[in-house]
Structure 1
Amino acid sequence: MAGKTTTSAKTTAGKAAAKKAGTDPAAAKPVLLSGGNPQIAKGHGDGPVQAYIAAMPGWKSEVGRRLDTLITRAVPGVRKAVKWNSPLYGVEEQTWFLGIHCFDRYIKLAFFNGASLQPLPPVASKQEKVRYFHIHEDDALDETQLADWLTQASRLPGERM
């Protein structure tokens, strides 16, 4: 194993270098992937989802907070996680009914069984069961419709991911 550096050693070395340079690695700006999606470590629970929301660029962060509050109200006991740099929401262990993803010009809500929702979310997918709803900066959110879709979606079989 000579010549290999462990992840822990790299992390410690990175923190030491940041300290020496007078910067705090925790205060660093979040990394945005192509398309403007925050790069957030995989994790379960509210913490990683809140980190994602805080890292959403510009107007998207406030919309992310509104969405998270709406989801939590519409689906009591909702489970949360971040996987593949996207927040996921579900009601059962390891199954998800909704994913959120940032793009340069909009936020995409992915209803994994959206083809079963009434009325249908407006954007089709290459995947037969998935439907999308896009939120742009100046869109007025119909929170009543979103809450209805969320409630419906939470009652459908979730996707294992």
Structure 2
Amino acid sequence: MTPTKAGNSGKVAQERAASRAAAQPVLLSGGNPQIPKGYGDGPVQAYIAAMPGWKREVGRKLNALIEQAVPGVAKAVKWNSPFYGLDDQGWFLSYHCYTKYVKVAFFRGSFLRPMPPGESKQENVRYLDIHEGDPIDEAQFLDWVRQASLLPGEKM
């Protein structure tokens, strides 16, 4: 039996809706986007585009500042978080969305001066938490990123 024209348009509409749903990343607990692992700017841009609400602008700002501080920085998405590093040195920074803030992780943050304010259970990791409406001290962030890029990174 041949489907009717109305049946075809209904099926096409369902396929389009399914395609749009598939294109929308799933938000994990805390609103962190679930983005497939990948290397380069593309996956990082997909992560930033999927960051919910005000966090998207924070992601754009962080990405731009990191690129400014370290031209040619290597990028990847791993474990549903963007990573930044240098090809020959490893990863020095990552960030992740939580319900009420974006957490920036400096993997060798205990060596940065001044140290980022957030402590970690891991000896060398330090965090910077950015809440909605928090101003980003661009000069300090750029300095931390430059310092972090000069330290041995994490091989992950």
Letter in structure 1 aligned against 2:75: K
Is 1:58 the counterpart of 2:53? The answer is yes
Q: Which of 38, 45, 68 is 2:40 aligned to? A: 45
Aligned to 2:105: 110
Letter in structure 2 aligned against 1:40: I
Letter in structure 2 aligned against 1:82: V
Q: TM-score, normalising length from structure 2?
A: 0.88
Letter in structure 1 aligned against 2:52: P
Which structure is larger by alpha-carbon Rg, 1 or 2? 2
Q: Which of 108, 121, 127 is 1:126 aligned to? A: 121
Q: 1:124 to 1:19 in 2, by over 3 A?
A: farther
Identity of aligned residues (%): 65
Is 1:74 the counterpart of 2:69? The answer is yes
Task: State the secondary structure of the residue aligned to 1:87.
Answer: strand
Q: 1:24 to 1:124 in 2, by over 3 A?
A: same
Q: TM-score, normalising length from structure 1?
A: 0.85
**Unpaired stretches in structure 1, ≥5 consecutive residues:** 1-17
Which one has the bigger helix percentage? 2
- Cα deviation code 1:20-42 (max 9, x no counterpart): 61325256432100111000000
Q: 1:143 to 1:19 in 2, by over 3 A?
A: farther
Residue-pair matches, total: 144
| Alignment partners' CA distance in 1, 2:12 and 2:124 | 49
Aligned to 2:91: 96
Is 1:148 the counterpart of 2:143? The answer is yes
